[in-house]
Structure 1
């Protein structure tokens, strides 16, 4: 059973719009999975699918941006988490410092806007945290990236070019 099928079955008893909000908020699907499911399985129109998916994708952004640092600082007291954060920070900085220094917040928005696995709002929040971008700058950039991704995924879904295969490996 695929992740997509499992999630849809688990959300079967909730109203479709809430299911789409939840799918949009989850790091495994985000809106690149929520929009095709909303339109293809729940029969929502493009605007409704876009709205609930984008809203769902933005729901975790504020808590993530506000609480990643305090949670990270707390967890770093334990060696296993400290090792993980050292690895995460060095890997993220090694792979993205040049782009971020060159393009700044535009790089963050574009990174979030690319509707592929390992990109999106959750990863954008992690990148903003790693690079020390303040909330007042990172939230608008991430929100812009989420909206761009939402437009792209909606257009691809309407035209029949689905991203569910990329996201869930179906």
Structure 2
């Protein structure tokens, strides 16, 4: 079970896969679907911290010294502010809940940092969005595998 769980964890940490790859992998490997979902959620929620705070540190120590990059960041934040004011954290949660490539924890964490959102609110939005997206992926995976079994058994 440890090896299978480790495989699910690794799949969830890959930016191109995250939950979209981790949850179906766990189910195919024979892990309990709810257990797989919980492992996936823990990994995705944990990923927020190194990405968000790593970017903050990288910007503070290196990128903030580049004038052109500072202007670019300020421009993006200024352009994004009306959308953040309108949709806010709910928009971020909805964004991450879409189970499509490039709408996972990595992208949401980068967006949160880029738009200078409060880290606590961003984390909550990412946790909520990951939960919704994870449930969608879980139900889709279980349903697809059951339909596949139905056709293969006949």
TM-score, with length taken from structure 1: 0.72
Alpha-carbon separation, structure 1, partners of 2:26 and 2:74: 35
For the pair shown, the structure with the greater C-alpha radius of gyration is 2
Select the structure that is richer in helix: 2
Q: Quick check: 1:39 aligned with 2:27? A: yes
Q: Calculate the TM-score normalised by the size of structure 2.
A: 0.79
Residue 136 of structure 1 corresponds to: 120
Give 1:97 deviation, angstroms: 5.1
Query: CA–CA distance in 2 between the matches of 1:74 and 1:136?
Result: 22
RMSD value over aligned CA atoms? 2.6
Cα distance in 2, alignment partners of residues 113 and 122 from structure 1: 13
Question: Which ranges in structure 2 are unaligned for 5 or more consecutive residues?
Answer: 146-154
How many residue pairs were aligned?
A: 143
Q: Which runs of 5+ in 1 are unaligned?
A: 1-13, 162-170
Q: What is the match of residue 124 of structure 1? A: 108
Instruction: Please give the alpha-carbon distance, in whole angstroms, between the structure 1 residues aligned to 2:13 and 2:112.
Output: 18
* Contact residue 25 and residue 57 of structure 1 kept, 8 A: yes
Moved over 6 A (4+): 85-89
Taking the TM superposition and a 5 Å limit, the aligned residue runs for 1:50-65 are: 50-65=37-52
